[in-house]
Amino acid sequence: MQEQAKRIAGLLYDGVLSPQDWYDGLDGLREALGAGLFDYFTLSTISSQASGSVNNQGYVGLHAEKLREYQDHYIGQDLRMAALAQLPVGQLMLDHEHISTREMSRNIVYTDFLRPCGFQHTLGALVRDEGGSRDFLGFIRPSDHAPYGANDKALVERLMPDLTRAARLRARTGQLARHAALGLAALDALPQGIAVVDAQCRIQYSNPAADRMLARPGAMSVRHGRLSCHDGNAQARWQSIVADACGRQVTGMAGALQPAPGARSWMVTVLPINARHPMALHQAPMALAVLHDPAAPNGIDPRLIGEMLGLSPTETRLALLLAAGNTVKDFAAAEGMSWHTARSHTKNLLRKTGCRRQLELVALLQSLRIG
């Protein structure tokens, strides 16, 4: 039993990161208990919704519909769940100790659900109860098997500290992985260039839009893992902006950085990242840089902007020229059309976007492009 319990505990801890090991650990315990079925699931205490079930129901011929049927019709009348709800985390529930044979023969969960599927006795426990969700684990024996005995109880009790600890670690890992996935995916999807740097300008994260900007020749690039400016003056300015955002309690810093005398500047906004965020883990101060190159519409494909606003290709070109700081006259010259025609395109453009003035249109485009 010693070795068996140790092996199962090891699989459960490995299961914190590996779903297969988690399954194998639970299945190993099921086998050791002589049960036919195991089910591990999370119940939200707020919505009473079950989720994240790990079980071997497919193996024993029970399919997803059966599980749904249980959740829809039976879970509310399940005497086993009622008994479990009374017990603290980690305490075992053997159904025959809580529910008499008479009660079992009258309860529809036993008569209409378990027995027709060929199952009866259940050993269960609440293994985690924190932050609005509870994890339950159950092992169910075939109907021709005897109720669970003292040996079964001893084995599960021996494993219980490992089981509850692994359940907590697994839930925490899942939550962190979810947060990390959502947060980084959201930053990745933003069309503006975003880079997270530490006080020494070392890049900790950059989104695809920033990667594209930094790969092109421009005001900034990555050197030895640091986000830096080519021009000496701009570099000094950039470093001091980042140091300020990382060091002092400021709302943020912003400035224009010029790649070379006479060239178009990049607009850079640097915001401090809150180190008191609940997920911070002894973290060095960091800052978030939003990069904007007015000369190159970063992020969304220009064609997409036209599509979003329902513009013709000509109107889209006009809108982008205006956004880059050019005039209607410049547009007429570039397209080789009369000023009159250009003006009528402008009118249509404003009408279609619902803007009253050119300035509003520029602002609208800007908000679409970077947001």
Partner 1 sequence: MQSETQVIAGLFYDGVLQPQAWHAAMDAMCTQLQAGVFHSFTLDESSAPTPESAGNLEQFGLHARHMAEYETQHAGNDPRLAATLRLATGGVMLDHEHFSAREALRNPVYADWLIPLGLKHTAGTVVRLEGSALDIISFMRPRDARPYSADDKRFIERLVPDIARAAKLRARMVTLSRSAHLGMAALDSLRQSIVVVDAQCRIHHANAAAERLLALPGALGARQGQLRCAVGTVHERLEQLVRGACATPAKAGAIALADGPQRLVAAVLPLQASHAWAGMQAPMALVVAAMPGAASSLAPRLVGDMLGLSPTETRLALLLAAGKTVKDFAAIEGMSWHTARSHHKNLLRRAGCHRQTELVQLLQTLQFA
Site for partner 1 (CB under 8 A): which residue of 160, 243, 267, 320?
267
Say how far apart CA 60 and CA 62 lie, in whole Å. Answer: 6
Binding mask 183-222 for partner 1 (x = CB under 8 A): xxxxxxxxxx-x-x-----x-xx-----------------
346-365 residues in contact with partner 1 (CB under 8 A) are 354, 359-360, 362-364
Q: Which residue's CB is nearer to partner 1, number 60 or number 328?
A: 328
Q: Which residue's CB is nearer to partner 1, number 106 or number 172?
A: 172
CB 21 within 8 A of CB 15: yes
Q: Where are the alpha helices (DSSP H) in the chain?
A: 2-14, 19-32, 64-69, 79-85, 95-98, 101-106, 108, 115-117, 150-189, 208-215, 232-247, 302-309, 313-323, 328-335, 339-353, 358-369
CB 245 within 8 A of CB 255: no
Q: Which residue's CB is nearer to partner 1, number 109 or number 290?
A: 290
Instruction: Give least dist CB 70 to partner 1, A.
Output: 22
Six-digit token pair at 284? 């060095």
Q: Which residue's CB is nearer to partner 1, number 74 or number 205?
A: 205
- Asked if 35 interacts with partner 1 (CB under 8 A), we say no
- Asked if 73 interacts with partner 1 (CB under 8 A), we say no
Instruction: Give least dist CB 368 to partner 1, A.
Output: 5
Instruction: Give least dist CB 156 to partner 1, A.
Output: 16
Q: Which residue's CB is nearer to partner 1, number 228 or number 366?
A: 366
Six-digit token pair at 320? 């982008």
Six-digit token pair at 233? 């003056």
Instruction: Give least dist CB 142 to partner 1, A.
Output: 32
38-57 residues in contact with partner 1 (CB under 8 A) are none
127-146 residues in contact with partner 1 (CB under 8 A) are none
CB 151 within 8 A of CB 4: no
- Asked if 251 interacts with partner 1 (CB under 8 A), we say yes
CB 105 within 8 A of CB 89: no
- Asked if 371 interacts with partner 1 (CB under 8 A), we say yes
- Asked if 224 interacts with partner 1 (CB under 8 A), we say no
Say how far apart CA 190 and CA 292 lie, in whole Å. Answer: 13
Going by C-alpha positions, the residue among 323, 298, 110 that lies closest to residue 192 is 298
Say how far apart CA 182 and CA 176 lie, in whole Å. Answer: 10
Say how far apart CA 113 and CA 93 lie, in whole Å. Answer: 20
CB 323 within 8 A of CB 297: yes
Q: Which residue's CB is nearer to partner 1, number 33 or number 355?
A: 355
Task: Point out which span in 10-18, 71-79, 103-111, 147-155 binds partner 1 (CB under 8 A).
Answer: 10-18
Helix, strand, or coil (residue 246): helix
269-308 residues in contact with partner 1 (CB under 8 A) are 269, 271-275, 277, 279-283, 286, 288, 290, 292, 294, 300, 304, 308
Binding mask 154-183 for partner 1 (x = CB under 8 A): -------xx--xx-xx--xxx-xxxxxxxx
Instruction: Give least dist CB 78 to partner 1, A.
Output: 27
Say how far apart CA 215 and CA 16 lie, in whole Å. Answer: 39
Say how far apart CA 66 and CA 56 lie, in whole Å. Answer: 13
